[in-house]
């Protein structure tokens, strides 16, 4: 797996608004990730291949040439796997703590101590029934009972995660039990993972491989599924919404506030108070308050409120180069440490909000569920004050925006399908998979990276998959990329690449719901909302009475940058879903680990493909990756006899 700076000719990004502002940022003296990635070249080959060990003070040690073991005797297999699992653990803990923050808020709603309410009562009562608790009576009392059960995902000393029990299909549960990967509770498993990968602990590759699957289930159920369900309960299950994307959504005449990070507890209140304080903004000469989204917090408020998407991860710095972004409010995850230095080229106020996420020199407004209203109001006041100090000579806002549709929760998809078949909404999907109008399904998910041409991996893959009648959905930063290039509007750029079969399916569903067509790619939410993708697979597998591993479905992250991709990917691998990654990750130093994870040697005694039914597909070139993905989809169709 070669880890080198992308040498393809052309601009760093396919997004014209990014390029316009990147050029301006450089002229204004702002350094960005695109500049720093070149400074880091060449990257350390020992780190890139995963054979550098820094777990004790004998070293650090590295494996190379005739040096086959570290000082303690760890070989390349142990070093590579323990490095990989520690990265995976750091990804899982971000999603698990995300869900814990949401759970604490639900507990406080139940007690009536925070200014939030239950927005989806039906979903709360439905989950209560699945958990086996009383779903009747006062909604806050039901919330309290559900919260009491949900906390067991972090405290139970026997059994397994109750969110796994109420979500996964029986076929999957049986397989995981047989393989010995069922997790007990999220915090215990994370602690055990760190213990067994500490220096001079677990050194058996076969034993460590279990941890990859177990952590995947921790991330999937105590992270992704729990987070999505709690967010829907508190803030509403997303419905179809139309909005815009690209950096042109920033408005010169408005007070502009970017919400950035991942926790909707904060961003929901920013949106609420922005509406309440419109008149305050007008008093200083602004037309009003314009909230825009960056990263997954942007996805959250877009899905529920139609807030426009400004940019994904790599665009967070250049958003300030518009000279019109008055405040960027951050919570947790994907917050670049350079935000404050970059903001000093302009007037933008960087505002941190969590006690455990701070940036040197940035403003801090302590945000808790209890003081949510006061803190949100204060943040809006800071942004309004900043508006008064703009340097008009530095303002440059790209004119380009792109329309998009979002809000494709599973509930919304099923509702749309019910217009075709009210009694059995999923049957039209099954029928079209069988007849070939839908060849298979691919979820384009995850990050954006400075290593490769921004947006190229996602758009090129989408073009080639749509042409072959693949149903494509998207989450996270990948969803941002596809939205900005017209793949999430019925008559946009993406429509040019639709094969006849998938085009007919999207048109039929769209027309039944008052649209000319569904968009070529459906936006299913933030990174934690990969749970929605899994729920859709569970539903289809249950209807066909097959394991999820038999479905012609693949997950793909062509521009990986965060360890969270490893944790999400490992969850889908335990389901038996192939996972494509386009960015090098540190396993090439061990041929054994590479063979196990990628299944490239079919006669190998242990592979993920053999254990779970899915494997990692590593391919940086999206054109080649599309062919490999299509090959696996066709293989699984053939196994199903279709």
Secondary structure in 3-state letters for 119-171: CCHHHHHHHHHHHCCCCCCCHHHHHHHHHHHHCHHHHCCCCCCHHHHHHCCHH
Tell me what pLDDT residue 3 has. Answer: 45
| Residue 75: DSSP 8-state | B
- Strand order of the β-sheet with 289-294 is 363-364, 349-352, 325-330, 255-260, 289-294, 309-311, 241-245, 402-406
- Whether 8 has a pLDDT exceeding 80, the answer reads no
Residue with tokens 């998809």: 413
pLDDT tens digits for range 416-446: 999 999 999 999 999 999 999 999 999 999 9
3 state SS of 372 = helix
pLDDT tens digits for range 280-312: 999 999 999 999 999 999 999 999 999 999 999
CA atoms lying within 13 Å on the CB side of residue 468: 19
- Whether 218 has a pLDDT exceeding 90, the answer reads yes
CB atoms within 10 A of CB 507: 16
pLDDT tens digits for range 81-107: 999 999 999 999 999 999 999 999 999
Tell me what pLDDT residue 9 has. Answer: 59
No. of H helices and E strands in the chain?
Answer: 27, 16
pLDDT tens digits for range 526-584: 999 999 999 999 999 999 999 999 999 999 999 999 999 999 999 999 999 999 999 98
Tell me what pLDDT residue 5 has. Answer: 43
- Whether 22 has a pLDDT exceeding 70, the answer reads yes
Residue with tokens 């749970």: 531
3 state SS of 323 = coil
pTM: 0.97
Tell me what pLDDT residue 11 has. Answer: 84
For residues 257 and 291, is the Cβ–Cβ distance under 8 A? yes
H-assigned helices in 306-371: 339-343
First to last CA, the chain: 35
Question: Which secondary structure element, helix H or strand E, spans residue 322, and what is its range?
Answer: none
Tell me what pLDDT residue 2 has. Answer: 44
Tell me what pLDDT residue 34 has. Answer: 93
CA distance 399 to 21: 11
What percentage of the chain reaches a pLDDT higher than 90? 93
Q: What is the mean pLDDT of residues 487-515?
A: 98
Tell me what pLDDT residue 41 has. Answer: 85
- Whether 6 has a pLDDT exceeding 60, the answer reads no
Question: Which secondary structure element, helix H or strand E, spans residue 319, and what is its range?
Answer: none
For residues 586 and 566, is the Cβ–Cβ distance under 8 A? no
pLDDT tens digits for range 338-383: 999 999 999 999 999 999 999 999 999 999 999 999 999 999 999 9
Domains and CATH numbers, the chain: 76-235 (1.20.1270.30), 247-394 (3.40.50.2030), 408-640 (3.40.50.2030)
pLDDT tens digits for range 322-340: 999 999 999 999 999 999 9
* 391 Cβ contact list (under 8 Å, min separation 6): 323, 346, 347
Pairing of strands 521-523, 470-474: parallel
């Amino acid at each position: 797996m070669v880890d080198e700076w992308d040498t393809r000719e052309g601009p760093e990004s396919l997004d014209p608004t990014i390029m316009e502002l990147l050029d301006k940022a450089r002229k204004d003296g702002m350094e960005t990730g695109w500049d720093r990635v070149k400074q880091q070249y060449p990257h350390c080959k020992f780190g890139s291949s995963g054979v550098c060990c820094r777990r004790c003070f004998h070293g650090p040690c590295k494996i190379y040439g005739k040096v086959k073991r570290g000082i303690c005797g760890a070989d390349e297999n142990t070093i590579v796997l323990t490095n990989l699992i520690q990265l995976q653990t750091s990804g899982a803990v971000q999603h698990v703590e995300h869900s814990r923050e949401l759970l604490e808020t639900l507990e406080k709603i139940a007690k009536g101590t925070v200014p939030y309410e239950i927005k989806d009562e039906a979903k709360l009562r439905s989950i209560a029934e699945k958990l086996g608790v009383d779903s009747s009576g006062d909604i806050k009392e039901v919330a309290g009972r559900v919260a009491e059960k949900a906390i067991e995902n972090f405290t139970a000393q026997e059994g397994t995660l109750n969110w796994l029990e109420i979500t996964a299909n029986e076929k999957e549960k049986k397989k995981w039990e047989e393989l010995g990967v069922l997790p007990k509770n999220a915090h215990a498993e994370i602690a055990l993972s760190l213990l067994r990968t500490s220096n001079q602990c677990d050194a058996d590759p076969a034993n460590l491989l279990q941890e990859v699957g177990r952590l995947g289930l921790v991330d999937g159920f105590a992270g992704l599924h729990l987070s999505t369900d709690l967010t829907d309960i508190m803030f509403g299950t997303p419905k179809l919404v139309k909005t815009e994307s690209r950096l042109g959504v920033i408005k010169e005449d408005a007070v502009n506030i970017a919400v950035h990070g991942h926790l909707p507890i904060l961003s929901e209140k920013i949106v609420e108070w922005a509406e309440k304080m419109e008149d305050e903004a007008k008093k200083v000469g602004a037309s009003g308050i314009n909230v825009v989204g960056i990263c997954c917090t942007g996805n959250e408020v877009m899905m529920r409120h139609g807030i426009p998407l400004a940019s994904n991860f790599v665009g967070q710095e250049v958003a300030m180069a518009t000279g019109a972004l008055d405040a960027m409010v951050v919570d947790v995850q994907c917050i670049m440490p350079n935000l404050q230095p970059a903001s000093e080229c302009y007037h933008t106020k960087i505002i941190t909000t969590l006690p455990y996420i701070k940036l040197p020199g940035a403003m801090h407004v302590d945000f808790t569920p209890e003081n949510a209203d006061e803190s949100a109001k204060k943040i809006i006041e800071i942004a309004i004050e900043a508006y008064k100090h703009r340097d008009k000579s530095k303002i440059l806002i790209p004119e380009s925006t792109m329309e998009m549709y979002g809000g494709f929760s599973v509930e919304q998809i099923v509702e749309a399908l019910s217009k075709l078949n009210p009694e059995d909404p999923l049957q039209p999907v099954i029928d079209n998979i069988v007849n070939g109008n839908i060849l298979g399904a691919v979820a384009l998910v995850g990050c954006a990276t400075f290593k490769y041409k921004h947006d190229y991996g996602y758009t090129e893959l989408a073009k080639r998959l749509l042409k072959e009648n693949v149903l494509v959905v998207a989450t996270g930063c990948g969803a941002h990329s596809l939205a900005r290039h017209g793949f999430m509007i019925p008559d946009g750029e993406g429509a040019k690449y639709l094969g006849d079969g998938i085009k007919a399916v999207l048109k039929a569903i769209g027309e039944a719901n008052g649209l000319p067509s569904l968009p070529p790619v459906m936006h299913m939410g933030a990174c934690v909302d990969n749970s929605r993708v899994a729920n859709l697979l569970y539903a289809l597998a249950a209807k066909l009475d097959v394991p999820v591993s038999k479905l012609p479905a693949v997950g793909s992250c062509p521009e990986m940058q965060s360890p969270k991709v490893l944790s999400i990917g490992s969850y889908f691998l335990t389901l038996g879903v192939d996972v494509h990654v386009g960015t090098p990750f540190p396993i090439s130093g061990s041929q054994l680990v590479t063979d196990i994870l990628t299944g490239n040697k079919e006669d190998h005694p242990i592979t993920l493909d053999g254990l779970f039914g899915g494997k990692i597909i590593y391919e940086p070139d999206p054109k080649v990756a599309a062919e490999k993905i299509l090959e696996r989809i066709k293989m699984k169709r053939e196994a199903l006899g279709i």
